[in-house]
Structure 1
Amino acid sequence: MTQPQSNVRRDRADHIVDVKDVSFGYTASPVVEDISFTVERGEYVGMIGPNGSGKSTLLRLILGLHEPDEGQVELLGHPARAFAEREKVGYVAQDVTENTKRMPITVAEVVLMGRFPHAGFGRVTSDDRDRARQALRTVGIDHLADRKITQLSGGQRQRAYIARALASEAELLVLDEPTVGVDAESVDAFFDLLTDLNDDGMTILLVEHDIGAVLEHTSRVICLNRELYFDGDPVAFADSDALDRAYGTNVRRDDGVVVS
């Protein structure tokens, strides 16, 4: 079995995500095999791997949507599959920009949904609305509050769903390739937003196909291709051979920049 390279310290007890010896497969063949890592409060972790490497499946295991065949996954100290406080995890799916094209509601209404778990007796209060407006200001789209979500660009929709997570008081933000279908200028601004949120204390777990963006913006890299090949800081990853081992011939380096 491939032994992952790692230089991450794990001497803190404040785990947001804890993946222990996890294997899972949809058939007899495993999609992920013997994966272990933790995500500490306040970290900004980027997860990379070639297509079909098990990244999205691992996210679903972390979100409690699948039960591991072996091992266990915990969220905030509780089994992920039975984790009840779902509002503490903000999830932005890869296809969110497509799904929202059929939603005839405003941006403000989308963000206000994040307050529903906190609404006493199902009633949204003025405080809930204030928190939703603050979330919109934080992600920089408060001027779009009354616009239909269907009228937003891909990057603006991603911001709306991050605002919904902020409104819900999420402690972990999980994003599955959020820049797919987003124009280049908006992608740069999007990563700036994630950095700002992390600087403010948000824990972020990002799956991203753009390896260069992960190396530039995150503070820790997890690289997998069914198995874990690397878990450590971006500089150590760039200096290692983990990329070549995980991607094989599906990766090249142009002028020092990693391209998948």
Structure 2
Amino acid sequence: MTPEPTHNRSTGADPIVDVEDVSFGYTASPVVEDISLTVERGEYVGMIGPNGSGKSTLLRLILGLHEPDEGQVELLGHPARAFAEREKVGYVAQDVTENTKRMPITVAEVVLMGRFPHAGFGRITSDDRDRARQALRTVGIDHLADRKITQLSGGQRQRAYIARALAGEAELLVLDEPTVGVDAESVDAFFDLLTDLNDDGMTILLVEHDIGAVLEHTSRVICLNRALYFDGDPVAFADSDALDRAYGTNVRRDDGVVLS
């Protein structure tokens, strides 16, 4: 069935993300097709869709890691592929907890990496270290600063990488399935952290498999399955048929809560 999305196009002059008529495929078949959306400063956007729907691919297009086959993507007012100020975007990848298992460095050292783009002549200053410590306090793991990153739980490692983004003065936080492999108690605390960061002004773009969590915590829902099926308010999404159209039979509803 052809999707009938609600487009959320920018009404402001300076969106953080601007995706216009974008299509992309790894082969002749498109993975995402004719996508248009913007993300404004201060928004908390949750992106959902079934497995293989193109969510991670769209993130990579937004981050400038792929060149669209059609259309254009701008990041902070610049073509995403040519965007040079990467420290302004904090990206927490889906497999970050696995990759860090092989890193023999401390949590403090991971977070301090966020200051490297700001270090004059490549030298870390006391101010850089203060900012890193403040970022650790913000995400609630300053007591783990001297611990090896390999010794942290999955949820703690996610917080460490968010702290690195905060230390780097990121303006946009992009997270791809950040709660995979994280225990339920830590997941609740993790979403509370994201809400607090958003309340403090951080723009957040989240890809998440837990549809209920997206509806509960974000201020805007993007529903994708190659094409855009919905883009708007979580309440309006819950009242629409976009979920059924995008997911087909791969979804169930229990007591009014939508689950993937």
How high is the TM-score relative to the length of structure 2? 0.98
Equivalent residue, structure 2, for 1:229: 229
Distance 1:2 1:224 in 2: 12
Deviation at 1:5, TM superposition (A): 3.3
8 Å contact from structure 2 (residues 7, 37) kept in 1: no
Verify: 1:199 aligned to 2:199, yes or no: yes
**1:75-128 superposed Cα distances (whole Å, 9 cap, x missing partner):** 001000000000000000000000000000000000000000000010000000
Distance 1:183 1:148 in 2: 20
* 3-state SS, counterpart of residue 124 of structure 1: coil
Deviation at 1:183, TM superposition (A): 0.1
* 3-state SS, counterpart of residue 136 of structure 2: helix
Distance 1:246 1:9 in 2: 21
Deviation at 1:46, TM superposition (A): 0.2
Deviation at 1:14, TM superposition (A): 2.3
8 Å contact from structure 2 (residues 89, 171) kept in 1: yes
Structure 2 portions without partners, runs of 5+: none
Equivalent residue, structure 2, for 1:164: 164
8 Å contact from structure 1 (residues 60, 66) kept in 2: yes
Distance 2:55 2:8 in 1: 20
How high is the TM-score relative to the length of structure 1? 0.98
Deviation at 1:10, TM superposition (A): 2.9
8 Å contact from structure 2 (residues 8, 37) kept in 1: no
**1:149-172 superposed Cα distances (whole Å, 9 cap, x missing partner):** 000000000000000000000000
8 Å contact from structure 2 (residues 20, 35) kept in 1: yes
8 Å contact from structure 1 (residues 35, 227) kept in 2: yes
Aligned pair in 2 of structure 1 residues 33, 95: CA closer, same or farther (>3 Å)? same
Q: How many residues of Structure 1 are paired with residues of Structure 2 in the alignment? A: 260
Deviation at 1:12, TM superposition (A): 1.2
Distance 1:106 1:209 in 2: 30
Deviation at 1:13, TM superposition (A): 1.4
Instruction: Detail structure 1 runs of 4+ shifted over 6 Å in the superposition.
Output: none
The percent identity for this pair of structures is: 94
8 Å contact from structure 1 (residues 100, 149) kept in 2: yes
Deviation at 1:4, TM superposition (A): 3.6
8 Å contact from structure 1 (residues 4, 231) kept in 2: no
* 3-state SS, counterpart of residue 73 of structure 2: strand
* 3-state SS, counterpart of residue 179 of structure 1: coil
Distance 1:64 1:81 in 2: 4
Equivalent residue, structure 2, for 1:23: 23
Deviation at 1:61, TM superposition (A): 0.4
8 Å contact from structure 2 (residues 9, 36) kept in 1: no
8 Å contact from structure 1 (residues 106, 147) kept in 2: yes
* 3-state SS, counterpart of residue 109 of structure 2: helix
Aligned pair in 2 of structure 1 residues 4, 197: CA closer, same or farther (>3 Å)? farther
Aligned pair in 2 of structure 1 residues 7, 24: CA closer, same or farther (>3 Å)? closer
**1:191-225 superposed Cα distances (whole Å, 9 cap, x missing partner):** 00000000000000000000000000000000010
Distance 2:3 2:255 in 1: 29
8 Å contact from structure 1 (residues 135, 167) kept in 2: yes
Deviation at 1:9, TM superposition (A): 6.5
Deviation at 1:252, TM superposition (A): 0.7
* 3-state SS, counterpart of residue 249 of structure 2: helix
8 Å contact from structure 1 (residues 5, 232) kept in 2: no
Distance 2:227 2:76 in 1: 24
Deviation at 1:8, TM superposition (A): 4.2
RMSD: 1.0
* 3-state SS, counterpart of residue 243 of structure 1: helix
8 Å contact from structure 2 (residues 7, 36) kept in 1: no
* 3-state SS, counterpart of residue 182 of structure 2: coil
8 Å contact from structure 2 (residues 9, 37) kept in 1: no
* 3-state SS, counterpart of residue 65 of structure 2: coil
Distance 1:46 1:251 in 2: 18
